[in-house]
Amino acid sequence: MRAYDADYVEFVDARQGVLRRIAYAVCRDDARAEDVLQEALVKLYLAWPRVGGTGREEAYARRIIVNADLDQRRRQWHRRRSSVPVELLDGPARSGPATEDRLELLTELRLLPPMQRRTVVLRYWLGFSVEETARELSISEGTVKSHSSRGLATLRDRMGERVSAG
């Protein structure tokens, strides 16, 4: 076993659940999210000697997830499935919205166009700044603002005023 393998395994054990939820939020399909996550973990392992211990491991993994999703969408054999995985729910909400509201939000989020969904997930679910989101998606800050605004407007229209920009 190489010296950095133990660090990689420790990181994956600690962050795999979070990365899985990110992959699902980006892909909106549980089977594709698993595929994207596995691809991301393999690529992260290959880059671990360079990335491990820098403090940017999770950001690197998120970037791989977003890029892997984009790559898969470009492939002709891509097919969509619609289901909400149980792992995404993480049990009862602590002080947030009711489970029914969360499920409705996830359902509506899945219906957004891909770039709007990605920007909304990164900005409002993961709490990224406009600058961080732009960097993560390799788009301009203005494009982030535009997609975020449109995505939130669509969610508000579909769900009523229960959706806020946090």
Dihedral (Cα; 62, 24, 14, 130), 10-degree rounding: 40
The string of pLDDT tens digits covering residues 89-143 is: 444 444 455 566 667 777 788 888 988 888 988 888 888 889 988 988 889 999 9
pTM over 0.85: no
User: Residue 74: enclosing H or E segment and its boundaries?
Assistant: helix 57-74
The string of pLDDT tens digits covering residues 14-55 is: 998 899 998 988 888 888 888 889 888 888 888 888 888 888
| Residue 113 structure tokens | 């166009």
| Residue 142 structure tokens | 């203005």
Task: Check if the beta carbon of residue 40 is closer than 8 Å to that of residue 19.
Answer: yes
User: Residue 32: enclosing H or E segment and its boundaries?
Assistant: helix 30-51
Query: What domains can you pick out in the chain, each with its CATH number?
Result: 1-78 (1.10.1740), 97-160 (1.10.10.10)
As a whole number of angstroms, the distance between CA 152 and CA 121 comes to 11
Q: Let me know if 12 is exposed, middle or buried by CB neighbors in 10 A (0-12, 13-18, 19+).
A: middle
